[in-house]
Amino acid sequence: MTDPRLRPFDPADTDACYEICLRTANNGEDATDLHTDPRIVGEVWVAPYLAHHPECAFVVEDDQGVGGYIVGAPDTAAYDEWADRVWFPPLRERHPAGSFPDSKADGDCVNLIHTPPVMPAEVTSEYPAHLHIDLLPRLQGRGFGKQLMNALFAACREAGADAIHLGCSPENTNAIAFYQHLGFSDLMAGFLWGRSTEAVS
């Protein structure tokens, strides 16, 4: 058995990243049973980053395969503009508004596809980058979350971003405790967090 290792994202990891996204999408827990379309949550929260900023994507791999990732964008305003103009239009055709009337989780994703969130300039001017991080349970609590953060922070600094933000449901208390431990501060009512992209020791 070889030790898990962090490495840059490779396009061959894409399907594994969709799977990890689904299996952590219920406030950090498995959301498989909540979705009728197993890929829709990844279409919103991970795949566009892999497509647009592969240099800011890193994965953790062990003998069972890729089991964790971090993705991000160094310039959130530019990312939001690109996603609205390029990434979401084909998805809007594939999933018209009102799709999945019997699945709240899928319906919420359809709403995001049609009306993607745009981070206010007050946030992006001070914290220009943003990120999403997810590890499957077998790789949690072993230091890989911190390693992934440091890899992304370095990529963001390389791209000129000296601060970063992230959104998190206040119900995901485990993730919030992790962010606080890494020095993120609460920017907005416990669901928006920010810090510098200096490495965490």
Ligand X SMILES: CC(C)(COP(=O)(O)OP(=O)(O)OC[C@H]1O[C@@H](n2cnc3c(N)ncnc32)[C@H](O)[C@@H]1OP(=O)(O)O)[C@@H](O)C(=O)NCCC(=O)NCCS
Contacts of 142 (CB under 8 A, 6+ apart): 4
Q: Kindly indicate which of the ranges 50-58, 84-92, 140-148, 156-164 contains the residues binding ligand X, using the contact rule CB under 6 A.
A: 140-148
**Rounded CA separation 20/9 (Å):** 14
The answer to whether residues 20 and 61 touch, using CB atoms and an 8 Å cutoff, is: no
Note whether 140 binds ligand X by CB under 6 A.
Answer: yes
Nearest to 4 by CA among 70, 68, 60, 69: 60
Note whether 128 binds ligand X by CB under 6 A.
Answer: no
Residue 97 or 199 having the CB closest to ligand X: 199
3-state secondary structure of 1: coil
* Interface with ligand X (CB under 6 A), residue from 42, 74, 128, 145: 145
CB of 165 to ligand X, least distance (A): 12
* Interface with ligand X (CB under 6 A), residue from 133, 155, 187, 192: 133
* Interface with ligand X (CB under 6 A), residue from 40, 50, 168, 187: 168
**Rounded CA separation 94/67 (Å):** 28
**Residue 201: exposure state from Cβ atoms within 10 A (0-12, 13-18, ≥19):** exposed
* Interface with ligand X (CB under 6 A), residue from 14, 24, 26, 99: 24
Positions in the binding site for ligand X (CB under 6 A): 24, 28, 133-135, 140-146, 168, 172, 174-175, 177-178, 181
